[in-house]
């Protein structure tokens, strides 16, 4: 995310909703689900949107202008792999013309110098590249893409060469947490401005690989130490964002700033979601930009209003002193672990499911399982 200051507003909802929500400051645009990588922790839906269902260039341009009218400040072009869209430069230009700050979230494996220069000329403001490890063999095995790590390093060099700021997205888990110190040093060496040390969150495809990804408690404690030391050592050099794994948490994270309060996601087919994983909650119907204006969806969509604010909360959330801070935690995680999206997030120590979830983490982290289940191997056989 950029350093643009957050602005909020209060909007009265329909009678009976009993709460309010703020300005949608940032939007994640999943312009496609196509991707050359096969990351076992992928948070995209198990059932991906087909290319023929994707919004057209003209539809995305209209939506970008509607976002600007709504008050959105930042757009994050993501996927899948956004570079799979042949019109990505045109979409970035449309965001620039609408006055939006734009960030490209990419695997980097198809990001050439020429394409980066075109994106920069179109007004792209920032690039975020994912890295699976510092060791090339491990990185390529995790990503399921032969020679992917070398291509990522090249893309990072090109990003800095054209003058764009760079964030390294380091997705951490049991099989690569030992590489964290080297990954932090790698980010410094490539001139990154920021690194996101993001422990895997278990939605979508990541649930299928949880036993192979779940870190041990000892690893998390070491990760905490490494991050704290690096924050002190690299102050003013590299900003570090740190996301701990929910299964070892005591308090739930404020997921996306609260359901439908400051953020939304648009799927490749145009569905407006409160977060990228919301379609994992079966039974919810999300409105599409093909059917409604974006402003109407933000204010009136039943799915976006369902878990807004605090009135929907059961006990113990309803009586919790922190309910206006964490807004109940993650609805997708509650559904994944309890079957009830309205349940207390099991990451919270007050949840009746908390101890069982913690035990699951301990048990699965001790399995020693290293096998990944990939969607497919379209990117080429990963190196052993």
Mean pLDDT score, 114-133: 98
pLDDT digit string, tens, across residues 163-209 = 999 999 999 999 999 999 999 999 999 999 999 999 998 888 898 99
Q: pLDDT-derived band of residue 383, with 50, 70 and 90 as boundaries? A: very low
pLDDT of residue 203: 83
Mean pLDDT score, 15-23: 53
pTM of the model: 0.90
pLDDT of residue 222: 96
Task: Examine the pLDDT at 15 and tell me if it is beyond 90.
Answer: no
Q: How far apart are CA 224 and CA 229, in angstroms?
A: 9
pLDDT digit string, tens, across residues 248-261 = 888 888 888 899 99
* Residues of each annotated binding site: 35, 39, 42
List strand residue ranges (DSSP E) for 244-298, in order. 263-266, 272-273
At 206 the three-state DSSP class reads: helix
pLDDT of residue 46: 82
pLDDT of residue 20: 56
Task: Examine the pLDDT at 365 and tell me if it is beyond 70.
Answer: yes
Could you say which architecture CATH assigns to the domain 20-379? Alpha-Beta Barrel (3.20)
Mean pLDDT of all residues in the chain? 90
Task: Examine the pLDDT at 135 and tell me if it is beyond 90.
Answer: yes
DSSP characters for 16-81? Answer: T---EE----EEEEE-----S---TT--S-SSPPPGGGSPPHHHHHHHHHHHHHHT--EEEEESS-
pLDDT of residue 246: 84
Q: Which sequence spans correspond to the domains of the chain? A: 20-379
Task: Examine the pLDDT at 280 and tell me if it is beyond 50.
Answer: yes
pLDDT digit string, tens, across residues 145-176 = 999 999 999 999 999 999 999 999 999 999 99
Phi first, then psi: give them for residue 78, nearest 5 degrees: -140, -165
* Residues of each annotated binding site for [4Fe-4S] cluster: 35, 39, 42
């Amino acid at each position: 995310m950029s350093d643009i200051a957050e602005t909020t507003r209060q909007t009265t909802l329909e009678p009976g909703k009993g709460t309010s929500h703020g300005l949608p400051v940032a939007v994640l645009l999943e312009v496609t689900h196509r991707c050359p990588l096969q990351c076992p922790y992928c948070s995209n839906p198990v059932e991906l949107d087909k290319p023929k269902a994707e919004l057209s260039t003209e539809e995305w341009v209209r939506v970008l202008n509607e976002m600007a009218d709504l008050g959105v400040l930042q757009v994050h072009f993501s996927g899948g792999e956004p570079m799979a869209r042949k019109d990505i430069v045109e979409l970035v230009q449309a965001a620039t013309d609408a006055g939006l700050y734009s960030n490209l979230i990419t695997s980097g494996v198809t990001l050439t110098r020429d394409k980066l220069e075109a994106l920069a000329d179109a007004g792209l403001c920032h690039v975020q590249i994912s890295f699976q490890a510092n060791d090339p063999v491990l990185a390529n095995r995790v990503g399921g893409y032969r020679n992917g790590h070398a291509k990522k390093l090249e893309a990072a060099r090109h990003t800095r060469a054209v003058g764009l700021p760079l964030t390294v997205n380091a997705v951490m888990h049991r099989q690569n947490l030992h590489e964290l110190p080297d990954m932090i040093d790698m980010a410094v060496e490539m001139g990154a401005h920021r690194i996101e040390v993001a422990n895997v969150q278990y939605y979508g495809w990541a649930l299928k690989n949880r036993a192979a990804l779940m870190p041990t408690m000892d690893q998390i404690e070491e990760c905490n130490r490494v991050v704290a030391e690096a924050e002190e050592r690299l102050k003013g050099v590299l900003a570090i964002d740190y996301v701990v794994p929910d299964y070892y948490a005591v308090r739930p994270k404020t997921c996306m700033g609260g359901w439908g309060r400051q953020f939304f996601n648009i799927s490749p087919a145009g569905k407006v979601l409160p977060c990228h994983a919301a379609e994992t909650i079966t039974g919810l119907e999300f409105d599409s930009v093909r059917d409604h204006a974006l402003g109407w969806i933000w204010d009136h969509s039943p799915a976006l209003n369902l878990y807004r604010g605090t009135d929907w909360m059961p006990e113990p959330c309803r009586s919790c002193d922190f309910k206006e801070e964490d807004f109940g935690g993650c609805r997708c995680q509650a559904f994944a672990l309890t079957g009830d999206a309205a349940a207390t997030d099991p990451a919270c120590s007050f949840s009746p499911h908390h101890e069982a979830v913690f035990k699951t983490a301990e048990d699965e982290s001790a399995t020693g399982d290293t096998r990944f289940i990939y969607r497919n191997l379209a990117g080429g056989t990963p190196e052993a």
